[in-house]
Amino acid sequence: MAAQDSVIPQELLTAGAHHMDPPIVNIKLAQDLLDVCRSMSLWPMTFGLACCAIEMMATGMARFDMARFGAEVFRPSPRQADVMIVAGTVTRKMAPAVVRLYEQMPGPKWVIAMGNCAISGGPFKIKDNYNVIEGVDTLIPVDVFVPGCPPRPEGLLEGFFELQRLISGKRWWPVAAEVEG
């Protein structure tokens, strides 16, 4: 059973007092089955904040084609999405909107922090930083961190594989062979 479905009542996830309700009927086999289904039909939200979004688009397009791995339909509305890919720099002014979008997503839901800016502030983590959130995990709970500046599409795909492993407990795809020479 994935962590998102576990029965942890009253755990407030965000400043907006957002929390997940436990499943009403909790049968392990049924949950496991649902988890596999969920992991193979991840609907990410169209949510590009900076240059990482270009790589995210590339991941969705023909060459890398994340539809092959079950994460095809980018949704323009948080109500229809279950993965938020925070692709880019989160500024202080954007922060309330990020939290609101997260809270609008129906559970179970997951967050991928894509790129160094979303992970830690990246190049903006400096002494005189006045407007960049240093790590989106200070706002919303993050499941997978994909480092890079920006990460290659392969990196984001690996992030998705990791997320699928978190959800269903198994890595479904072969590991890429190391290139020699």
Partner 1 sequence: MLQALEGITTQCVAKQDKGKTGHEWSVFLAPGQIVKAASKLYEAEYSLEDVLALDFEEGFLVLYHFNRWNIEERVTLRVLVSKDNPTVPSIASIFDGADWHERETRDFHGVNFEDHPNLVPLLMCAEDVDLHPLVKTPKVRKSIKDILDLGEVISCNKEMEELFAEAEAEEASDA
Residue numbers 13-52 binding partner 1 by CB under 8 A: none
Residue numbers 125-144 binding partner 1 by CB under 8 A: 128, 130-131
The DSSP symbol for 45 reads: E
In whole angstroms, the minimum distance from the beta carbon of 131 to partner 1 comes to 7
DSSP string, 74-141: -BSSGGG-SEEEEES--BTTTHHHHHHHHHHSPSS-EEEEEHHHHHH-GGG-STT--SB-S-GGGTS-
In whole angstroms, the minimum distance from the beta carbon of 33 to partner 1 comes to 45
Give the integer Cα–Cα distance in Å for 1 and 139.
25
Position 100 contacts partner 1 (CB under 8 A): no
121 or 153: whose CB is closer to partner 1?
Answer: 121
The contact set with partner 1 (CB under 8 A) reads 92-93, 128, 130-131
